[in-house]
């Protein structure tokens, strides 16, 4: 059996308070902006922590090669979530995707064939405002001329 993953890029232009055909609230503009900001917050804070850790290693005479992988970033994300309660407002897959993107950026940087630059901080100014979520338990549906995201996520 062949498994096919399908990615769909969608632009959403919601009004202030839309409802779907079942009467459930569709995610508002504020919720989308919140997810974008939290995505950027997690990425930047994890990158800053890694940079600080690398500078500490150099300061004490060690090699500055830090392995950035899922387990190390999961620890950082748990620390951030414990310190910042507002991170719970974001979609859980969006939080995880921000750290996956950071890990991918480091993998590209360390791959000599790709010649990528060191990961940089994400800025609000002049940035492409985006975040990614994964369809877990049918929390994202695409219907004719309507896209909605259920607002009662757990994570």
For the segment 25-57, what is each residue's pLDDT rounded down to a tens digit? 665 666 777 777 888 899 999 999 999 999 999
The pLDDT of residue 130: 66
Q: What is the distance between the alpha carbons of residues 131 and 145, in angstroms, rounded to a whole number?
A: 21
Q: What are the residues facing 150 on neighbouring strands? A: 26
SS3 26: strand
SS3 36: helix
The pLDDT of residue 104: 92
Which residue numbers in the chain have pLDDT < 50? 153-155
Residue 50, H or E segment: helix 29-59
Give φ, ψ of 150 to 5 degrees.
Answer: -65, 135
Q: Where are the beta strands (DSSP E) in the chain?
A: 140-143, 146-149
The pLDDT of residue 23: 64
The pLDDT of residue 96: 85
């Amino acid at each position: 059996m062949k498994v096919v993953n399908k990615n769909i890029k969608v632009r959403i232009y919601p009004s202030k308070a839309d409802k779907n055909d079942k009467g459930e609230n569709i995610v508002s503009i504020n919720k989308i902006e919140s997810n974008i900001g939290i995505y950027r917050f997690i990425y930047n804070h994890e990158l800053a922590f890694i940079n600080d850790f690398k500078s500490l290693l150099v300061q004490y005479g060690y090699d500055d090669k830090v392995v950035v992988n899922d387990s190390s970033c999961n620890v950082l994300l748990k620390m951030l979530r414990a310190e910042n309660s507002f991170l719970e407002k974001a979609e859980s897959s969006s939080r995880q995707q921000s750290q996956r993107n950071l890990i991918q950026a480091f993998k590209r940087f360390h791959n000599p064939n790709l010649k990528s630059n060191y990961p940089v901080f994400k800025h609000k100014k002049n940035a492409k405002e985006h975040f990614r979520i994964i369809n877990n338990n049918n929390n994202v549906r695409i219907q004719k001329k309507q896209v909605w995201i259920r607002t009662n996520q757990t994570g």
